[in-house]
Structure 1
């Protein structure tokens, strides 16, 4: 703004009468649009006092453009779809398991219609929401009964509060795990009102340690799956088939927290073996808890299966109502469980298993297609190569085992003048319309293609042009 030049701001009425703003009102409502216009004008008045506003910047067109940008940003959900190219299939921070199509359609229907959540269509009376999936869980696990809560931590909490409040629960020191988010088994026990009795040592626990720990206050013998770490070397743990007779001898139940929990032997699909829920029940566990959104491949929930009398007690606990799941979770879980009735089709239809069993050759072919496109978008500051990688299952499942994978490795070009080139590129990838999440290590930005299925490849390619800008 030159000396003596006066810049006049348009009135709110003139701004709202502009064609662009009329369209904003249609899309965002008059209240939001009006508030945005006033906010932009207030900022322009402040800038005018500093002489930082020119006539063009105070035009209705410029103001309307600012308003459009702000209102779009305000209406954008903070929960957004992303491309998971981290190499971790069940990524806790990215929502873990992706639902198969059958579950997605069931959730859409449940969103749009009233459902018989707690209504028995046969008798016309009030029903139990657990009945919607209990029969399937009994069939797939061999358990007598089942109940569902909102996650596995809740399942453990509810089980302990019901059966061991004010009494002792015996756990090996080597199984007192802490998983993501500082979730610790000892802390959950304390909140549940149970008393932790540690036995054995960190690396070695014997059956005699459990036997010596049992007393009149013992309520449960408990085993916890070491889901996110492995102890190697001079180790010893007590297997479930050893522990069950000891528990029976003293008349106390045996509980197993499987953590991730799988319903099928993954070895038949070429994956490392993970103890199944059925194997745990058949080994004599009275109760088993596990997650729904990990290896099972369903929605977030916690499942408790086991003896009918113990499940009945758990369901009578007032905390069960506080921890129960809603119709959307059950609508998603039931069709996922039904897929397990056809194990020969499971690797094709269950999204989690399909990603875990994706051939490295398919990812290699995909990498060769994407390499020149990504290199062209990044320019001479970076060098992109197609390379073999190692994927992780993630979320507390098989912590040591990795899967052969393939993807794109991005390194800074020797002549690059970009400051912190990999960090800057990672930020640019996260700023794309559909953010791309990779991982940095060994002076390389790795984009593992295991989770980039063919159906989403075009969308990934379509936004690469924005990296040039």
Structure 2
């Protein structure tokens, strides 16, 4: 096909009589535009009506759908962070398709609390007196500070003034709570004496925020958790510990150090600890605040709680996830934990099988050693040894786009003229869909789509 052979939008759309006029015109125009790009690149152009119908099918499907994460970033924010364990996904499906015991008391039949079971599980797992769940960790920060420090000062180290995803900055989040931020120390060094000097009669909280998405190294110093707890008790003000990722297990055997564990903050005496549900905990998106019963009660009764409370789907997924920790099955059943402990050699073997199948389809596919990241604002400077399928093509951007537009989208990363598909975060039962996402090659030359 040449540029002269391209049909008009009107002529192509007329061949799509099964579609509405508006949709037929839209997909015809897009198919012709894509064909022009292919011709400029010297590529073969297939049947445009078939392409237009394919585009119509894409437009008619849900934009939010399952995808395959071969980027090498386990907790990829753009791809939904943690994936749920099978039991958690089943719990969501069960309460989504029918009525649920969300806020009923089984004994009386009257109204109960939607968070009682979650609180019991966290009490067992962490030793915390009580728990309240909201819809993300930023909401947990806002609720805790609005309920306990509104109109008062919140003391925080300058080295912990983090910016989270989407350009949201902690000082701005604190301001929205109605509390006033008091910065102490410097970016790289903050001592317990800096906090002590800043305490006044108007101090509402001492706050520690774990810098989970960056590291400061070199000439550094920070007050320990124990020092902050002791100072807060001496000054009779609450101490809040925002630990971010919500680790309930020790990741140090895998070289992933410096990530605070929830239980350790509780054991050290933190009055409140809050963290995410969809990072290292491996559950649904949620912000979880645990700690002293009286302070949690104040949070529960704050007017913001109504706006920030989670729905039945979140609570069902979170309960099922926590029960896996309770029964000792977390490392085997929670996908995030399974993928972290997955051995590099096992990934290598799976990559070789996938690469072999791609070569049979005509692709130039090999296997390379690489490094995976945990991601999601967790452990930014810690890497996991992994392997990836490396694909070479004359048009890598087009191949990557075709994979993203497949029925089950596949996301990898382009590095040094190769498309890398890291299989650390790809489970065995996803490999068939990954292979189906690859478009057929013209002439079997292994040049990519």
For Structure 1 versus Structure 2, the TM-score category normalised by the shorter chain is 0.7 to 0.9
Question: Does the C-alpha gap of structure 1 residues 41 and 290 become closer, same or farther in structure 2, counting only changes over 3 Å?
Answer: closer
Question: Does the C-alpha gap of structure 1 residues 211 and 434 become closer, same or farther in structure 2, counting only changes over 3 Å?
Answer: same
SS at match of 1:466: coil
Q: Which residue of 1 aligns with 2:141?
A: 156
Q: Which residue of 1 aligns with 2:376?
A: 395
Counterparts of 1:254-265 in structure 2, within 5 Å, are: 254-265=239-250
Deviation at 1:172, TM superposition (A): 0.2
Q: Which residue of 2 aligns with 1:215?
A: 200
SS at match of 1:464: coil
**1:91 correspondence with 2:65:** no
Question: Does the C-alpha gap of structure 1 residues 465 and 37 become closer, same or farther in structure 2, counting only changes over 3 Å?
Answer: closer
Deviation at 1:236, TM superposition (A): 0.2
Q: Which residue of 1 aligns with 2:331?
A: 347
Q: Which residue of 2 aligns with 1:124?
A: 109
Superposed CA deviations along residues 257-311 of structure 1, whole A, max 9, x for unmatched, are 0111111222356654622111001111100010000000000010000000000
Candidates 345, 367, 371, aligned match of 2:355: 371
Superposed CA deviations along residues 404-463 of structure 1, whole A, max 9, x for unmatched, are 111112345xxxxx4xx3323322322322222111233432211111211111222233
For the pair shown, the structure with the greater C-alpha radius of gyration is 1
Counterparts of 1:163-202 in structure 2, within 5 Å, are: 163-202=148-187
Deviation at 1:81, TM superposition (A): 1.8
SS at match of 2:73: coil
Query: Normalized against structure 1, the TM-score is what?
Result: 0.82
Counterparts of 1:67-466 in structure 2, within 5 Å, are: 72-267=57-252, 271-272=256-257, 274-343=259-328, 345-377=329-361, 379=363, 383-412=364-393, 418=394, 421-466=395-440
The number of residue pairs the alignment matches comes to: 414
- Asked if 2 retains the 8 angstrom alpha-carbon contact of 1:119 and 1:128, the reply is yes
Question: Does the C-alpha gap of structure 1 residues 439 and 71 become closer, same or farther in structure 2, counting only changes over 3 Å?
Answer: closer
- Asked if 2 retains the 8 angstrom alpha-carbon contact of 1:147 and 1:305, the reply is yes
SS at match of 1:258: strand
**Once structures 1 and 2 are overlaid, which stretch shifts more, 231-240 or 401-410?**
401-410
SS at match of 2:317: helix
Deviation at 1:43, TM superposition (A): 11
- Asked if 2 retains the 8 angstrom alpha-carbon contact of 1:106 and 1:331, the reply is yes
- Asked if 2 retains the 8 angstrom alpha-carbon contact of 1:40 and 1:66, the reply is no
- Asked if 1 retains the 8 angstrom alpha-carbon contact of 2:88 and 2:316, the reply is yes
Query: Normalized against structure 2, the TM-score is what?
Result: 0.86
Rounded to whole Å, the distance in 2 between the matches of 1:321 and 1:223 is 26
Rounded to whole Å, the distance in 1 between the matches of 2:74 and 2:199 is 41
Superposed CA deviations along residues 358-407 of structure 1, whole A, max 9, x for unmatched, are 1111111111112233234454xxx4321111100111111111101111
- Asked if 1 retains the 8 angstrom alpha-carbon contact of 2:256 and 2:382, the reply is no
Q: Which residue of 1 aligns with 2:44?
A: none
Question: Does the C-alpha gap of structure 1 residues 88 and 70 become closer, same or farther in structure 2, counting only changes over 3 Å?
Answer: closer
Deviation at 1:41, TM superposition (A): 8.5
Unaligned runs of 5+ in 1: 1-7, 25-32, 45-61, 413-417
